[in-house]
């Protein structure tokens, strides 16, 4: 039996689980936004707990952004008992074996319905937009070139009866001018309408073409030998499988490479989300950690609006709301259309946003006035109503570690949640594999905040052993100083 019926959102003060589930608004599949600075218990208190709690075998999970491989190590062994597990780990993080992932393997065959749309989606993901929309012309041009290069590779692979290789896309577009011109002339003569009209532009020798090639070179520079080798593995990840049977898919990109490899992850995310836009099959929960490093992504914007309609869920994690506003200045409200869980704000701007989101409350205030006549003795007390912030700014900035505010759709005011790490929940700790980053911690694993996070914020919830030990040590030291 699971602890949470839906997406975990911590516990109430009396240890009752808070979740976002089907009974909340008819289906409970609207997106869930999690935000908080580093060390907020986002991963170990909300994501690992969900992966270790759901033992139904009736839902698939896809996790993006596990840069340290920590979530994979802790949860994948248990997930393998209730689902099939596949992992993409080109960087060999923690020596976790990789099944590989090829971004164009799941494309339909040329000529089949959806082939052109999927080529376009991969090209958009492969070429990220410039910050603040700069050089939009070259971005769109490079995406158009990416479209016909991907289409060409799929056609050639089918003709030669070989696996599709996305590295050929980069090699084709960046070859020397004479060879590129000859290849494009052939494509213009033999390709279909879409390929011909997109490719013809590259026959002109001018500065614009060089700028387009430069944009393509930068965006595809992430295809390193290690990544290309991982893409070439047979039997790699196919996100469509998660609709057919219970799957747990982990996408590991080394932390130091996450930004550099964002085009690769963007293509995988685009592939994953588009595979879920079907009305049949198992529901899937897609979890995106460190979403800011992906940059603005049209597919995320679209998924926030429509994924719920296909019975699947999106949980997306940012360090601050300001990150969301920076990437999505006109549509950031989509991220708060479902459930929202926020830890202590990491900036004044975030704190002010949370204060405003928490709303106002009316409180009675006692005041006093001077006597109105000689017969009155002393001041005249009176009660007035004042409108105040429900949670003042200083209290918001001082939110304890392990505490969070939760809004579910339709909530007028926030709920207060206590977020425990999986290691503080015996049932989940038993299912977890050892955390390789906390081998000497004295328990199975301490995530972002360690064992000291348990019991924070309420005497009725108790203190963890490590917190109690620290308190005793501090008292002894203080006593020794006084005696001295």
| Domain membership flag for residue 192 | yes
Look at residue 132 and tell me if it is in a domain: yes
CATH of the domain at 190: 1.10.8
Q: Which of 197, 225, 253 is the last residue of a domain?
A: 225
Closest CA to 361 of 335, 338, 395: 395
Q: Where are the alpha helices (DSSP H) in 307-347?
A: 321-327
Residue 191 has which token pair?
Answer: 């390709």
- The CA dihedral of 389, 391, 394, 397, to the nearest 10 degrees, is -130
Residue pair 407/415 in contact (Cβ under 8 Å)? The answer is yes
pLDDT of residue 382: 76
Residue 374: per-residue pLDDT = 72
In a domain, residue 380? The reply is yes
Final residue before a domain boundary, out of 225, 258, 278: 225
CB–CB of 31/308 below 8 Å? yes
- Answer yes or no: is 12 within a domain: no
What pLDDT, on the 0 to 100 scale, is given for residue 134?
67
Q: Which of 397, 423, 458 is the last residue of a domain?
A: 397
Q: Which of 451, 475, 478 is nearest to 465 (CA)?
A: 451
Q: What is the mean pLDDT of each run of 10 residues along the chain (484 residues)?
A: 92 95 67 93 95 96 95 97 97 95 92 92 88 74 86 91 88 78 74 71 64 81 89 90 97 89 92 94 94 92 92 94 94 94 95 95 81 71 85 94 93 94 96 87 44 34 43 43 39
> Per the domain annotation, does 280 fall within a domain?
no
Examine residue 405 and state whether it is found in any structural domain, yes or no.
no
| Angle of helix 207-219 versus helix 136-160 axis, rounded to 10 | 70
The reported pLDDT for the residue numbered 166 is 85
Backbone φ and ψ of 363, nearest 5°: -125, 145
Alpha carbons 470 and 454: distance in angstroms, whole number: 13
Boundaries of domain holding 374: 359-397
- For residue 465, being part of any structural domain is answered with no
Provide the number of structural domains found in the chain. Answer: 2
pLDDT of residue 333: 93
Q: Note whether residue 129 is domain-resident.
A: yes
Residue with tokens 């996305």: 166
């Amino acid at each position: 039996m699971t602890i949470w019926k839906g997406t975990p959102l911590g516990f109430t003060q009396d240890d009752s689980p808070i979740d976002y589930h089907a009974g909340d608004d008819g289906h409970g599949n609207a997106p869930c936004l999690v935000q908080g600075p580093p060390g907020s218990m986002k991963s170990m208190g909300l994501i690992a707990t969900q992966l270790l709690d759901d033992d139904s075998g009736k839902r698939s999970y896809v996790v993006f952004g596990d840069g340290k491989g920590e979530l994979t190590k802790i949860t994948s062994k248990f997930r393998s008992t209730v689902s099939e597990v596949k992992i993409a780990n080109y960087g060999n993080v923690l020596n976790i074996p990789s099944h590989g992932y090829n971004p164009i393997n799941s494309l339909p065959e040329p000529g089949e319905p959806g082939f052109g749309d999927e080529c376009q989606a991969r090209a958009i993901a492969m070429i990220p937009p410039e910050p603040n929309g700069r050089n939009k012309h070259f971005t769109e041009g490079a995406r158009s070139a990416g479209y016909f290069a991907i289409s060409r590779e799929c056609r050639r692979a089918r003709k030669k009866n070989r696996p599709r290789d996305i590295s050929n896309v980069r090699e084709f577009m960046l070859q020397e001018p004479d060879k590129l011109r000859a290849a494009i002339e052939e494509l213009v003569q033999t390709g279909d309408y879409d390929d011909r009209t997109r490719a013809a532009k590259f026959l002109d020798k001018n500065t614009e073409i060089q700028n387009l090639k430069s944009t393509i070179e930068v965006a595809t520079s992430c295809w390193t030998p290690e990544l290309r080798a991982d893409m070439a593995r047979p039997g790699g990840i196919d996100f469509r499988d998660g609709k057919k049977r219970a799957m747990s898919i982990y996408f590991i990109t080394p932390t130091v490479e996450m930004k550099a490899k964002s085009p690769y992850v963007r293509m995988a995310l685009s592939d994953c989300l588009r595979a879920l836009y079907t009305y049949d099959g198992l529901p899937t929960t897609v979890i995106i950690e460190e979403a800011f490093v992906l940059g603005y992504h049209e597919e995320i914007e679209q998924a926030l609006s429509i994924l719920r309609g296909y019975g699947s869920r999106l949980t997306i994690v940012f360090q601050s709301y300001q990150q969301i506003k920076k990437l999505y200045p006109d549509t950031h409200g989509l991220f708060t259309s479902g459930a929202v869980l926020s830890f202590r704000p990491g900036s004044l701007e975030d704190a002010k946003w949370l204060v405003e989101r928490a709303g106002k409350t009316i409180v009675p205030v006692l005041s006093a006035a001077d006597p109105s006549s000689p017969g009155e003795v002393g001041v005249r007390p009176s009660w007035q109503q004042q409108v105040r912030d429900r949670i003042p700014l200083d209290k918001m900035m001082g939110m304890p570690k392990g505490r969070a505010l939760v809004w579910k759709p339709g909530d007028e005011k926030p709920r207060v949640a206590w977020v425990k790490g999986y290691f503080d929940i015996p049932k989940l700790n038993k299912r977890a594999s050892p955390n390789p980053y906390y081998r000497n911690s004295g328990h199975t694993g301490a995530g972002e905040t360690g064992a000291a996070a348990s019991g924070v914020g309420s005497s009725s919830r108790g203190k963890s052993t490590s917190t109690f030990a620290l308190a005793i040590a501090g008292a002894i030291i203080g006593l020794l100083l006084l005696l001295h």
